[in-house]
Structure 1
C-alpha cells in the first residue's frame, strides 16, 4: 500500500512569524483525523537554526493520538536531537537529512558529509536501542544548485552505505524542485531493484503543474511513500533564497486515487484541514 506522509513541520518551518503553539497543535490534531500514514510534525533542532520549531515538545504534549492511526515523525540534525526525541514514546520515526551535496550538508547541518554519516550511524544505534525507526532523507538527491558533483551512481553509493548501517527507510529528496519524471523513475527503479528490502520514499518539491507527473514517475519506479503538505506550503529555508513549495497533498491524493490506489482517507476531515490551512498559513 502507498503511504502518504503529511509534513506540517516542513510547511511551517520557513515562515518568519512564529505560529502560536496552540494553533500548531490544533492543525496537527486535525491532520491526525484524516488517516495519513505518518505526520512529520516537528523537529528537535537548534531553535537558533529553526526558530519556528522551538516549541515541538509543547506541541507534542497537546496532540490527541488516541483515535488516530497516523504515526509521528520528528526531524533531528544531530545525536543530541535524536536522544531528546527518543525519550518520547509517541514518536515512531526520527528523520535525518543527509545531503549528497557537500555544500548543502554544511549549510543545513554545519558539518561535512563524512561527519554526518558518522553521526547517522550513532543515531541509527539510538533508534535501535529506543525502538524508533530512522528515516534518512537524501537531500539534493536529484541535483543541486551549487555545482557540486551529482550522478545517479552517487545516489547508489549513498544507499549502499545506508544499507550497511541497517537503515530501512530512505527518502530521495528533491530539495529545490529540479527533478524531471525520467530521472525520478530511473533513480527509484535502480535503488528498488538493488535493495528490495528497503522502503524508498519521495520528498519532492514542485510547482502544482508538475506534481501529477512526478507522482506517476515515482510510482513507475517503485516508490512506496510520498511526502507532501496541504496546498503545497513550505520549502527548505536552508536551500536557497526562493523557496520551492512542497508537493501539494491534495493533488497527490487525486493522482494516486486516479491511478487506482485506495488511500483510506477521511475526506470530510481532509476538507476541514484544507480550510484550516488558510488560517494557519495566511494569517501569521
Structure 2
C-alpha cells in the first residue's frame, strides 16, 4: 500500500470566498497549516486578479511563509496560463504547480478561457517549465465525473486523457468532482479503472460533496486504491466558477477521521492542527 498523502487546500477554500481575506490573515493561517505536517499545502494561485481577486496577493503571501522550516510540506499553486506559469516556477516557495484541465469544453472555457485542445497543449508547457525549474507538475481533471452543462462525458475519457498526460510527463493527476455530481459508485468505478489502466501516474481526488455525502465518497476513493486526498479544514470552499453553492470541499476532519479508522493516518502534529482550526473564524470571517 502506498503512503497516504493529505493535500490541504485553503486556496480552493478562499478563491470564491465573498469576504476579502487580508494578506496578514492568510500568512498567519498558512503558517499554522505548515506546522501541521500535511504532504502538500495548496496555498494560492497565479491567475488573473479580475477572475479571482482573492488570490491577487499570492506572491506576497508566499514570500512571507516560513516554508523552509517545514520541508516535509510542499507548497502548491494553481496556474491558468503561461504568465501564471512563469510566476509560479520563479517563486522559491513553490514545489508543485497545478493546472486545471477540464473534461468539459464549457467549463474549460469558463475556467481558463481556453478550448480543451488548447488546454491539453498547454500541459506541454507546464511540464517543460516545471522540469526546467525543479518543480513538479500536477494536473487536475476537473468535471472528472460529469458536468451540468450537457457536454458529452464518458468515464473512459478519464483513462484516455490520463494516458496522454502521462506520456507528456505528468506524474500526478487529481480527479476532481468539481460540482459534486459523482455518486460513491462512480468515484469507485472511475478511479479504479483509471488506476488500473494508467498505474504509472499517482492518482488523487479533489472531491466536492454535500456534508452528508463526504464520508461515502472518501471511502469509495480509498477502496478504489486512491491514497492522495485533497480537502480543506471545516469543509470550506468550492469552485467559484461551478455555480453550485451547496457542495464544498471535503472536510479535512472527515478525511482524518476515516484514515484513523483505517489506521492509515500519516503523522500529523495534533496540537498544530488544533491551533490551525482555532484560526478558522479569522481565515473565513462571517
TM-score scaled by length of structure 2:
0.96
Match of 1:127 among 120, 125, 130: 130
Deviations 1:162-212 (A, max 9, x none): 111111100000000111111111111111112222100000001222211
Query: Once the 2 structures are TM-superposed, how far is the Cα of residue 102 of structure 1 from its aligned partner?
Result: 0.3
CA distance in 2, matches of 1:242, 1:182: 23
CA distance in 1, matches of 2:73, 2:167: 29
Match of 2:267 among 224, 249, 264: 264
Deviations 1:115-162 (A, max 9, x none): 111111111111111111110000000110001111111111111211
Asked if 1 retains the 8 angstrom alpha-carbon contact of 2:63 and 2:93, the reply is no
Structure 2 residue runs without a partner (length 5+): none
Query: Once the 2 structures are TM-superposed, how far is the Cα of residue 77 of structure 1 from its aligned partner?
Result: 0.3
**Which shows bigger deviation, 256-265 or 198-207?**
256-265
Asked if 1 retains the 8 angstrom alpha-carbon contact of 2:19 and 2:285, the reply is no
CA distance in 2, matches of 1:258, 1:264: 14
SS of the residue aligned with 2:206?
A: strand
Query: Once the 2 structures are TM-superposed, how far is the Cα of residue 16 of structure 1 from its aligned partner?
Result: 2.3
SS of the residue aligned with 2:36?
A: coil
What RMSD in Å do the two structures reach over aligned CA positions?
1.1
Match of 1:21 among 20, 23, 31: 23
Match of 2:73 among 70, 73, 81: 70
Alignment of 1:156-195 (within 5 A): 156-195=159-198
SS of the residue aligned with 1:184?
A: helix
SS of the residue aligned with 2:66?
A: coil
TM-score scaled by length of structure 1:
0.97
Q: Does 1:145 align with 2:153?
A: no
Give runs of ≥4 in structure 1 deviating > 4 Å: none
**Which shows bigger deviation, 122-131 or 132-141?**
122-131
SS of the residue aligned with 2:248?
A: coil
Structure 1 residue runs without a partner (length 5+): none
SS of the residue aligned with 1:104?
A: helix
**Which shows bigger deviation, 172-181 or 155-164?**
155-164
